Amino acid sequence: MMGPARPRKGETVTGTSWHPKSGGKGGNQAVSSARTGIATSMIGAVADDEFGRFLIENLDRKNVDHTFVRRDASHSTGMSVAIFDAEGDYGAVIVSGSNLTLGDGDVAAARDLLDRTTLLVLQSEIPDAANVAAARAVKRAGGRILINAAPARPLSVDLQCLVDIIVVNAIEAEMLTGLPVVETLDGALQAAKTLANVFPEVVVTAGGAGAAFVNREGDEILIEAVKVDTRSTHGAGDEFIGVLAAEIASGKTMADALQKANMAAAKLVSTPEKDRV
Ligand SMILES: OC[C@H]1O[C@H](O)[C@H](O)[C@@H]1O
């Protein structure tokens, strides 16, 4: 929903437009990855309702293999409502629904796929235990794990130990480090250095400032955001992660992958919601 401002407590704001769109962090990231041309599969769950069908049709149209997106009869499809202001910033509420049913059975069903996976992308809209099970399967077969620890919530130690690359924004970095993170390139760099005590490779994004990468060997990369006319920041992180993961999986250097992801996110934020495909 678009409006001049986001509502304050008790306030009703008259908006200008609304439209339904496909989402879920995993779904968005898979679509962004597939758009680069790399083979992309998704494991997930939707309900057997019109929203579930809408999401599956979107994956189909965008060339994401959804063989292992299960139809769950016992919950509704995950849903989020985002409210945008005139600057393109937003606040959102998500209801996880069928996403919370993901677990060992889904990982077992997708075993052949996970054995062939070179880079598994995880996010925190599904249970931590499901992420751990999928990550273990991929690691056993020699693949790597990238986690987008979003929405912000703690990660289990089991999961932390399996992660090769973590990507977080300033809010998520604050939650994981327990330290305030300033949304500047230097703030992102400092947070990335702290997180590199736990994770081998770290990317911290800093919104309109850019992103910082640090690894355990002490390598650092700073990427300045491309200055664009921001229409909506919704889904920018997902676009960044989907493209970053695809570029890493296709063998690009981290510096090149970050540049590609940065450009893709800039293009997305400068595209009005209604014009996004
Ligand atoms: O990152 C944005 C996405 O997160 C939420 O889950 C929404 O579905 C939205 O598409």
- Mean pLDDT of all residues in the chain? 96
Domain with 150 in it: 25-163+226-275
- Any atom of ligand 1 within 6 Å of the Cβ of 210: no
User: Is 7 inside a domain boundary?
Assistant: no
CA of 7 to the centre of ligand 1 (A): 20
Give the chain's end-to-end CA distance (angstroms, integer): 17
pLDDT bracket for residue 10 (50, 70, 90): very high
| Structural domain contains residue 44 | yes
Q: Is the CB of 235 under 6 A from ligand 1?
A: yes
ipTM score for this prediction: 0.96
Within a domain: residue 144? yes
Cα dist. 112→68, 108, 142, 161 in Å? 11, 9, 13, 23
What is the per-residue pLDDT for 19?
85
Q: Is the CB of 24 under 6 A from ligand 1?
A: yes
Compute the distance from residue 219 Cα to the ligand 1 centre, in Å: 31
Query: Is beta strand 210-215 parallel, antiparallel or unpaired with respect to 220-224?
Result: antiparallel
Q: Cα 196–178–160 angle (5° rounding)? A: 45
**266 domain residue, yes or no:** yes
pLDDT at 273 over 90: no
Ligand 1 atom, smallest distance to 150 CA? 1
Q: How far is the CA of 29 from the centre of ligand 1 (A)?
A: 10
23 lines ligand 1 (CB under 6 A): yes
Look at residue 274 in the predicted model and tell me its pLDDT: 82
- Strands 165-169 and 201-205: what pairing? parallel
- Bond from prior residue into 151 cis (ω within 30 degrees of 0): yes
Pocket flag, ligand 1, residue 101 (CB < 6 Å): no
> Is 188 among the domain residues?
no
Q: Is the pLDDT of residue 277 over 80?
A: no
| Cα angle, residue 137 at apex, residues 133 and 140 outer, rounded to 5° | 135
Q: Is 168 inside any structural domain?
A: no
Q: Is residue 26 very low, low, confident or very high in pLDDT (cuts 50, 70, 90)?
A: very high
**pLDDT digits 0-9 by tens, 195-253:** 999 999 999 999 999 999 999 999 999 999 999 998 888 999 999 999 999 999 999 99
pLDDT average, residue stretch 41-65 = 97
Q: Is the CB of 80 under 6 A from ligand 1?
A: yes
Q: How far is the CA of 95 from the centre of ligand 1 (A)?
A: 10
DSSP letter for 91, please: E
Q: Is the CB of 238 within 6 Å of ligand 1?
A: yes
Do strands 65-72 and 41-47 pair parallel, antiparallel, or not at all (unpaired)? parallel
User: Radius of gyration over alpha carbons of the chain, in Å?
Assistant: 18
Where in the chain does DSSP place strands (E)? Answer: 41-47, 65-72, 79-84, 90-95, 119-123, 144-148, 165-169, 201-205, 210-215, 220-224
> Ligand 1: does its nearest atom lie under 6 Å from the Cβ of 187?
no
Nearest protein Cα to ligand 1, atom 5:
24
CA distance 264 to 241: 10
pLDDT at 89 (0 to 100): 83
Q: Is residue 35 part of a domain?
A: yes
Can you say how many angstroms the Cα of residue 277 is from the centroid of all Cα atoms in its chain? 18
* Smallest CA separation from ligand 1 atom 6, residue: 24
Q: Is the CB of 96 under 6 A from ligand 1?
A: no
| Residues making up the chain, counted from first to last | 277
> In this structure, what CATH number is given to the domain that contains residue 43?
3.40.1190.20
Beta strands in 59-116 (DSSP E): 65-72, 79-84, 90-95
Distance 217 CA to ligand 1 centre (A): 33
| Number of domains observed in the structure of the chain | 1
